[in-house]
Structure 1
Amino acid sequence: MSLSFDSGNIYGLFGRNGEGKSTLMKIIAGLLFPKGGSCQVFGERISRKHIRCLQEIFLIPEDFELAAVTISKFEDVNSVFYPQFSKEQFYDLIKEFSLSPNENISTLSFGQKKKVLIAFGIATNTKLLLMDEPTNGLDIPSKSQFRRIMATVADQGKCIIIATHQVRDLHSLINHLVILDQSKVVFDKSLFEVSEYLWFGKPVEKDKYDIIYAEPALGGKSVLPRSDKDETEVDLELLFNAVLNEPDRINKLLKRRYHDT
């Protein structure tokens, strides 16, 4: 596969289980190495593990083990590796997550431990933040809280990549979508392009011949070329299913419309 990620974006990296999302994230973080080709981060081969590169990357993995220490001790030991780390930001997030700096991490639930890592990852203020299934283990209110917090931390100096198969959890958060299928990139588009050229909703009778993909499970919602229709909000779940079922048709449509403009 060939991919590039740019600063100033929150990417959604989607795919079924086993498609290689976690592997790709670990390659970008320098924890695994590609058998062919190369992975460059900030112009450096990540396999060389240069300090100036590593201190600008933070990965929140799907599975992890944390030491049996207090939250404040965890911060004290690990924050020194990140020059832009903000203690104030970290403890503000810990408070917002209804946690206490004096709590021992070993006594926390998996979801609470995930919140500690999310707070720490955001507070590192690295140029590249990688999140692998960050909403796993979070309850519904915490997922909403996560989306709200993430919306406040994205800026032009950061690149955030969130890998997940839980498409709904990133609704209204990401601005660029990458979809993997059979370990290949089948979709790599900004949501601006998607909303510009695709329409999401329940079609009327005259639209039935233009339907690219329909989803009875979602109440008959469909994906159609936008044409002269009003712009609609991008339905990530519907788009994801449509791409997996009609990747060539959707990509050809977006490519043709993009070049026509």
Structure 2
Amino acid sequence: MEKILSVKNLTKKFKRVAVNNISFDVEKGNVYGLLGPNGSGKSTTFGMLLSTINPTSGDWFWFGKKGTDSETLKKIGAIIEQPNFYPYLSAEVNLKIVAEIKDTPYSRIEEVLKIVGLYERRKDTFKTYSLGMKQRLAIASAMLNNPEVLILDEPTNGLDPEGIIQIRDIITNIAKQGITIIIASHLLDEIEKICSHVIVLKEGTAIFSGRVDEMTSNKGYFELKADNNNQLLTALEELNWFSSVKLEGDFIKAHISDKVSVSASNLNQKLVEKGIFLSHLNKKKQSLETQFLELVKNTNNHA
């Protein structure tokens, strides 16, 4: 895969270390999530990659070229801060002003307004827009110069559930056009639903970088129930297939060990052989949230 961006040992120190020696690659046509709580260094990382913040040390390469020059910026669409439009002008006129600044033809305006679902409201003034519509107009503005890369910093921040779904759908549709997207978010759910890859930041340090499905590729766990849960608990522990087996309410959770591969039918058969008949058996995956908390907990333990 073609590398769009390569980050090498990027560090930024203010009074404290905001970004600590992070390295990752972004490949063309994927959706990357920069995931971490507020204050984890996401916005500072974006600032450096767009040359609005000077790094303390480290390098990055856009399209194989070191740093971020004006030519590179023409290939990038970015929303880093709150959308800044003229409140008394229409969406269409606001985009004409942006098009002038970006030296982009007006013909793109209709196209981008349709991408974000605002074409019918193009004549309405910006001040009449809801927060979600304002955010969608910002995405339209970032798409005006037909970028190869779209950078979005917390694109669903403050939006209601409907607004979040609309933004998510827009991002997914833009990604289908082959545009590489990098999203900063503190919302695990957002990253899990939108992104193919994730870089997890904690206090400026990258504690995971890889595919989202790799992060959630744990073997998962079984949720089980039998008439005699104590007998079932003992049988599961004797199998040595599980890293942990514990009773939670009416159900037993048996987390599958990384060293084994086991299906629900295999497990059921084994238990029947032991004279245990299940009234409930469900194989589940740990959510990205559980994985993320495990990851953060592990780095705390090693600190």
AA aligned opposite 2:165: S
**Match status 1:186 vs 2:202:** no
**Match status 1:87 vs 2:106:** no
Pairwise CA distance, 1:146: 2.0
Match of 2:126 among 105, 129, 132: 105
SS at match of 2:32: strand
Q: Which has the higher helix share?
A: 1
Contact 1:62 1:134 survives alignment (8 Å): no
SS at match of 2:53: coil
User: For 2:254 and 2:158, how far apart are their aligned partners in 1?
Assistant: 31
Match of 1:137 among 158, 168, 190: 158
Deviates more, 1:133-142 or 1:220-229: 220-229
| Percentage of identical aligned residues | 24
Structure 2 residue aligned with 1:61: 80
Q: Which runs of 5+ in 2 are unaligned?
A: 1-21, 225-232, 264-282
Contact 1:10 1:174 survives alignment (8 Å): yes
Contact 2:32 2:196 survives alignment (8 Å): yes
Structure 2 residue aligned with 1:26: 47
Q: For each residue in 1:107-166, what CA deviation from the matched residue of structure 2 results, as whole angstroms up to 9, or x when unmatched?
A: 434333112112333454311111111011321112122222222221484321111101
Deviates more, 1:146-155 or 1:132-141: 146-155
Q: For each residue in 1:64-89, what CA deviation from the matched residue of structure 2 results, as whole angstroms up to 9, or x when unmatched?
A: 43223221012112135276983343
Contact 2:32 2:181 survives alignment (8 Å): yes
User: For 1:121 and 1:150, how far apart are their aligned partners in 2?
Assistant: 12
Contact 2:154 2:184 survives alignment (8 Å): yes
AA aligned opposite 1:91: L
SS at match of 1:141: helix
Between the two structures, name the one with larger relative contact order (CA 8 Å, sep ≥ 6). Answer: 1
Structure 1 residue aligned with 2:4: none
SS at match of 2:58: coil
Contact 1:114 1:137 survives alignment (8 Å): no
User: For 2:288 and 2:37, how far apart are their aligned partners in 1?
Assistant: 14
Structure 1 residue aligned with 2:98: 78
The size of the alignment, in residue pairs, is 241
**Match status 1:166 vs 2:199:** no
User: For 1:221 and 1:58, how far apart are their aligned partners in 2?
Assistant: 46
TM-score by length of 2: 0.67
| Residues 60 and 202 of structure 1: CA distance in aligned 2, closer, same or farther (over 3 Å) | farther
Match of 1:238 among 290, 296, 301: 290
Contact 1:11 1:177 survives alignment (8 Å): yes
Pairwise CA distance, 1:192: 3.6
AA aligned opposite 1:147: R
Q: Which has the higher strand share?
A: 2
User: For 1:221 and 1:136, how far apart are their aligned partners in 2?
Assistant: 35
